[in-house]
Amino acid sequence: MSWTLDEWFVVLLARTIRPGETVFHGFGSPCAQVAMHVAKRTHAPDMILVEGAMYAIDPDPPFIPPTGNDASLSRGAAYSMRFEEFFDAAVRGDVDRMFLSGGQIDGYGNTNVTAIGPPGRPKVKLGGGGGGCNLAATIGSLTLWTTRHRSGRTLVQACDFITDMGHRTPLGTRADLGYTGGGPQWLVTELGVFDFPAGRARLREVFPDVSVEEIRNATGFDLEVAGDLRAARPPAPSELAVVRSLDSLAVRKSEFSADELARTFTERQGQACAC
């Protein structure tokens, strides 16, 4: 069995979902979108899947389209929430997990999707945060992800602008700020997986073709490494099958550079290795 980095990445995102959770992704998030369906069809069949910008509950889309609010995404849904029904549920604490990405992510899990450079006169104006700056405070747990870790510009010492709040901002901790949600729990990158044991990102898992030194060099904050650092667990055939059948348009690949898409893995003697 062999698989590609983009497939594995989606599977690792899916595994951050716990059975029974109510889970949401924002728009412009194809990897998270596919990952939620992988979880639903493998280890978390009883999760409540809220399909991004359609606010559709447990749909059965025929494929994942390249836009976040096409009607294909609500096919077969048990219900389509109104915009306000979803945001009310998330703000009052009924949503357990959200996927969030960022052009910049710092060690506390703050993310920037607003602007690179000074906000009054940005060097690059990014798209914006959607619902993040309300929801990052109230949703139970956050799974962060980026596919641009290797650039060295994404995991930064400090975000130029904090759109969505992590475990601590310059104004205080989540407790200081009165947030009701738990904040970032996982950060999945194309190089490895981080957890946040004390409100700071800590490298927990690595891909077999990446060294800790490479990760350190690509990370703008001080890299903390778990004492029992693990190799990322390879995808199961059942997980890969969902990725491949559901994402037949391969929208997940739009998040990766060509070099990352070329990474292929295979399993030999129970160990994943790059080939």
Partner 1 sequence: MGLQPRRDKRMSLPDAVSAVGDGAMIALGGGLSARLPMALVRELIRQGRRGLHLIGSAHSIDVDLLVAAGAVRRCEESYVGFEQDLGLAPAYRRAAEQGSIEVAESCCATILAQLRATEMGLPFLPVRGVRGSDIARLHPEYAEITCPFTGERLVAVPALRPDVALLHAPAADRYGNLHLAQPYVLDERFASAARTVIATADEIGSPGEIAAAGITIPAHLVTAVAEVPFGAHPSSCYPRYGYDRSHLHEYVAAAQAGPDEAGKYLDAYVYGTGTEEGYRAAVGPARLGVLAELPGTTAGWKELFA
The binding site for partner 1 (CB under 8 A) comprises: 27-30, 53-56, 62-63, 65-72, 74, 80, 82-84, 87, 90-91, 114-115, 119-138, 161-165, 169, 171-172, 177-180, 248-249, 251, 254-255
Nearer to partner 1, 171 or 198 (CB): 171
- Least Å distance, CB 227 to partner 1, is 31
Nearer to partner 1, 58 or 209 (CB): 58
Instruction: Tell me if 57 sits within 8 A of 50, measured CB to CB.
Output: yes
Largest CA distance in the chain: 55
- Least Å distance, CB 7 to partner 1, is 17
- Least Å distance, CB 74 to partner 1, is 7
And the tokens for 6? Answer: 């983009």
- Least Å distance, CB 29 to partner 1, is 7
In the 8-state DSSP scheme, what is residue 187? E
3-state secondary structure 98-132: EEEECCEECCCCCEECCEECCCCCCCEECCCCCCH
**What kind and span of H or E run contains 12?**
helix 5-14
Nearer to partner 1, 196 or 265 (CB): 196
56 Rama class: left (phi>0) / alpha (psi -120 to 50) / beta = beta
- Least Å distance, CB 148 to partner 1, is 12
Nearer to partner 1, 217 or 248 (CB): 248
In this structure, how many other beta carbons lie within 10 angstroms of the beta carbon of residue 189? Answer: 26
Nearer to partner 1, 130 or 184 (CB): 130
